[in-house]
Chains A and B, each alone.
Chain A
Amino acid sequence: MVLINKNTKVIVQGITGHQGSFHTGEMLKFGTKVVAGIAPGKGGTKFADKVPIVNSVAEAMQFEPDATMISVPAPYVKDAAYEAIDNGLKIVYILTEHVPYQDTMEIVREASLRGITVLGPNGPGITVPFESKIGIMPNHIFKEGDVAIASRSGTLTYEIVYAVTKAGMGESTVIGLGGDRVVGLTFIDVLKMFEKDEKTKRIVLVGEIGGNNEELAADYIKKHIKKKVVAYIAGRSAPPGKRMGHAGAIIERGVGTAESKLKAFAEAGVKVADYPQDIPKLLEE
C-alpha cells in the first residue's frame, strides 16, 4: 500500500457541500477514518450523526488528522490548501475542478518544500483496498491484489480497475493524479512509491494526451523500474489544439501527442493497450 492505510485519519474541508457530503458518506462506507469535517460557521454540529464538524483546520487538529480532502469551490481552494499545509497535514487531496493553475502551482511548491503530498486537483483521489480511500472512486470496483494503478483521469481509471478486478486480479493502490495541467504528483513520483511498495508486483499507468509526463515516466522506467509496467494512452484520435475535457488534455505546439507517448513507452519496453479492457491481458502476459 502507498501513502495511506486503515489508520490514516482524514478530515474533509467542505464537508457540508453537495460533493463533500456525498463522498464523505461513501468514504465512511469504505472504512475510511474520517475524523472531522470543516465548515466555517457550522462548528459544533455533526455529519451523519457521527463525524464532528468544526470551523477550521486548526480546530480539527485535536483529532490528529493525517490527510484532508478539499471539496470547496475553485476560488477558495488555495486558501483551504494553505490552511491544511500550514497546519501540517501530510496529504492534501483536492477534488475541485477549474482551480486556476497558478494557485495550484503555488500550492504544489509550498507543499513540496514541507514534504507534503498533494493529490489533484481535478482527480479521483487515492484508494487502497480495503484499507482506506480518500476521494471519489466507486466503492464496488475494487479487489485486494498486487496491481498498482496511476492515472490522469477518473472514469477511465474505474473502467480499468473494474477490468482488472473482473479478470480475477486485484489492486494494491490506485492513485488519480488529476486532469489539470499542473497537479501535485507526476507519474515518476508514483512509480518511485510503487517500486518500493511490497504489496505491488505490477504497475499500470493510464496516461493521456498533453504535456510530457508519460515521456518522462517512460525514460524513468527504462532506468529505474524493475517491476512490470503496462500502460494505456487516451486521446489517439484527438485533434491538435483542442482541449479534450481535461484542462491538461491538449496538444500544444506539437507537444503532448499520443504518438510521442506511445513511442516513448515502446522504447522503454512498456506495452501499451489499444483498449482499456486489454490491460488485464497485458498484465498476465
Chain B
Amino acid sequence: MEIKAPEDERPQLPDESIPAQFSRGRVTVKGEQAPLLYEAGYYGTLKNGNKLILEPEEVLLLVRRQRIQVSDSKGTNFEFADLLEQLGERHPGLWTRFLVYSDLRSRGYVVRTGYGKGLLFRVYPRGAKLNEATAKYFVCVISEGVPLKVTEIETFSKQAKRNRKKLMLAVLDRQGETTYYLVAPADIVAEK
C-alpha cells in the first residue's frame, strides 16, 4: 500500500478552463498559463517557459477534467470526442493508452509518456517534483485477447532493469478496467 503524498504545494489552477490551441494535429497551451499547467501535474513538455506541448493522452484527460478548452485558429471548439477522433488518427491505440493513463493519474501518480515502442508510460511517485524525482515504474499494456510477445516482455524488463525501474504490466480487460502486475525475469539459480 502506498502512503499518500503530503499536502500538495503545486500551484492551484484557475477554476475556468485554460484555453489551448489545436493545430497540425497537436495541442498546445501558450502564454503564462503554460508553466502553471505544467507544474500543476507535470503535463506536457514546456518550451521556452511559455509554450506547453501536450501529449494526446494528456489532452484527453485535461479536457475530461475541464482543465483545458481546445479550439483551432478559426475559433472552432473541440470536445472530447472530436479530439479523440482527430488525435486518434495520428496515434493508433490512443484509447487504450488513455484508459491506462487516466487510471494511473486518477490514483494520484505523476505519469509521463514513456520512450521507445511499447513502453508506454513512466510512473513517478505520488506528489513527485519532476526535476527531483525519478520514475518508479515503466508501464506496458497487455489487453485481454491480445497476447504480448515473450521477446517484448524480455526487452521491456531489460530496459527497466537497466534504468533501475520496475516493469509494471497494466492488464486491460474487455471493459477497459485495469489491474496491475509487476513482472521481472526470474533469476533461477540453484545454490546449495
A binds B: no
A residues within 8 Å of B by Cβ?
none
B→A interface (CB under 8 Å): none
